[in-house]
Amino acid sequence: DTGVSQDPRHKITKRGQNVTFRCDPISEHNRLYWYRQTLGQGPEFLTYFQNEAQLEKSRLLSDRFSAERPKGSFSTLEIQRTEQGDSAMYLCASSLGGGRDYGYTFGSGTRLTVV
Amino acid sequence: KNQVEQSPQSLIILEGKNCTLQCNYTVSPFSNLRWYKQDTGRGPVSLTIMTFSENTKSNGRYTATLDADTKQSSLHITASQLSDSASYICVVSPNNAGNNRKLIWGLGTSLAVNP
């Protein structure tokens, strides 16, 4: 296992189009997180899963955003009707649950540019 | 208000020199403090994680210290290398619930190591 993988690394899309990102966590990690990071800022929490259950969504996650983790392994983050304000780095992270979050590992992110 | 402040905002040093980055936090209750290295366009990579009971932790040329009484932490980089050029981010976890959604991120110190 080489860590958390995200695909694609870069995505350029026209405003109004839908985009989907994928995250493959470390295999034994049961928690998976999505963050958004804009230039010069720290990552902002979007949502997290424990296994296949989505346990919390940030208020930042508007109705245009949806995330899934159907089998408790990989996760997808979809943005519908993209807006220029959605341009950011979307980071995925995974960890062990149960208070053992020291194995908290980020992927390299997907850079989204909405033109 | 839970905050994490880092200094300096940016730093330029010559290759081979040492440097120390500072982190002050007002997060309470406090669970653990993490230092991450983030290269431009990449996800954060964990350097050290310390609980309130730990005073120092090393990871190769990186040594982090923590004073939970004064709510201060430092990251010391020894014998800097060009590849150390990155943003170094201090992150505090305000709870012990094992859930990373409430991490408080500093804005980072941008380090440039010049030959």
CA distance A79 to chain B (A): 20
Radius of gyration (Cα) for chain B, nearest Å? 14
- The answer, yes or no, to whether residue B5 has pLDDT greater than 70, is yes
What are the CB-based long-range contacts (under 8 Å, 24+) for B65-73? B66/B33, B68/B30, B71/B24, B71/B25, B71/B26, B71/B27, B71/B30, B72/B22, B72/B23, B72/B24, B72/B25, B73/B22, B73/B23, B73/B24, B73/B25, B73/B33, B73/B35
CA distance B43 to chain A (A): 4
Q: What's the mean pLDDT in A102-112?
A: 86
What per-residue confidence (pLDDT) applies to A42? 85
Which range scores top for mean pLDDT: A16-25, A33-42, B92-101, B102-111? A16-25
Neighboring chain A residues of B34 at a CB cutoff of 8 Å: 104
What per-residue confidence (pLDDT) applies to B100? 57
Q: Residues B15-40: pLDDT tens digits?
A: 999 999 999 999 887 788 999 999 98
Are A24 and A4 within 8 A, CB to CB? yes
**Under an 8 A CB cutoff, do B42 and A109 touch?**
yes
CA distance A99 to chain B (A): 4
- Which member of A43, A98, A107 has the closest CB to residue B98? A98
CA distance A106 to chain B (A): 6
Q: Does B77 touch chain A (CB under 8 A)?
A: no
Instruction: In whole angstroms, give the CA distance from residue A93 to residue B44.
Output: 10
Q: Does B10 touch chain A (CB under 8 A)?
A: no
Q: Residues B66-115: pLDDT tens digits?
A: 999 999 999 999 999 999 999 999 999 876 555 556 788 899 999 999 99
Q: Does B105 touch chain A (CB under 8 A)?
A: yes
What per-residue confidence (pLDDT) applies to B104? 86
A22 vs A105, higher pLDDT: A22
What per-residue confidence (pLDDT) applies to A41? 85
With cut-offs at 50, 70 and 90, classify the pLDDT of residue A39: confident
Residue of B nearest to A97 (CA): B98
